[in-house]
Amino acid sequence: MINALLLSNSTLPGTEFFTWPRPYVKDFLGTKRLKLVFNPFAAVTLSYDGYEEKVKEVFEALGYEVNSLHRVEDKVGALAACDGIVTGGGNTFALLHYIYKFGLLEPLKKKIAAGTPYIGWSAGANLGCPTIMTTNDMPIVQPASMDALSLIPFQINPHYHELKFEGQGGETRKERLEEFIAFNPSRKVVGLPEGMLLQRSGNTLSIKGEAGRVAKLYVHGSEVLGLHAGQDLSYLLNA
């Protein structure tokens, strides 16, 4: 019974940190004062302390306790004892590198499989996928593997957009994702624009988010398909 809230991003331009996701998080976690563990290891140029402070402020205002893993000696024990897991964005390669370094992949999978809710944004959403192979981040470190938590059987591309810089070459996001499905034809990808999220509650999967946004589903050999807030995407769990 996996419960996961996978968000494209934390913060829309021109708003305070983690504003748009708050009602979705409250709805997902409920009204009990849960003890959450925060995973700050995607932070590279921001300090773990600074990241914890920002996240704590938001989640405590929502009515939850937050304990950051970087302060804890017995990280596996802290995960086992918590009521929920929150993984912040940053660099996905750094995040996964530390997950392997601290031996947290299997403990996380086990804990989440037992029903403990998982929330992740950006790199934290990539961590929820079968692999981190659809991250947008620079591979600044080589993790032990690119295999991740597999909380869903398909890939997410966070911060998805279809923009192109005028007069500049290099691949567009669409071209990158087309390369991914050409190389990995059995793997689907949801391009999730900022302000949207996927919510898995056991065997149901839904897409939610701010008005006017459209996610895109990439499947090898098919036309790219638009996905709209409110749609039932449970069929994607049978991949």
Longest dimension (CA), the chain: 53
Binders of a second copy: how many residues, by CB under 8 A?
43
CA torsion 100-135-17-150 (nearest 10°) is -50
**Where do the DSSP E strands lie in 46-188?**
65-68, 84-87, 118-121, 155-157
Q: Which stretch binds a second copy (CB under 8 A): 52-60, 106-114, 166-174, 205-213?
A: 166-174
Residues 78-117, one symbol each (x = binds a second copy by CB under 8 A, - = not), give -------------x--x-----------------------
State yes or no: residue 137 binds a second copy (CB under 8 A): yes
Cβ proximity to a second copy, 80 vs 141, nearer residue: 141
Which one is catalytic: 70, 83, 159, 234? 159
**Where do the DSSP E strands lie in the chain?**
3-7, 35-39, 65-68, 84-87, 118-121, 155-157, 189-191, 196-201, 204-209, 214-218, 225-228
Cβ proximity to a second copy, 131 vs 199, nearer residue: 131
Q: Are 190 and 198 in contact (CB under 8 A)?
A: yes
For the sheet containing 35-39, what is the strand order?
65-68, 35-39, 84-87, 118-121, 3-7, 196-201, 204-209
Residues 176-215, one symbol each (x = binds a second copy by CB under 8 A, - = not), give xxxxx-xxx---------x---------------------
Q: Which stretch binds a second copy (CB under 8 A): 11-19, 48-56, 77-85, 105-113?
A: 11-19
Binding site for a second copy (CB under 8 A): 9, 11-13, 44-45, 91, 94, 122, 131-142, 145-146, 158-159, 161, 163, 165, 167-171, 175-180, 182-184, 194
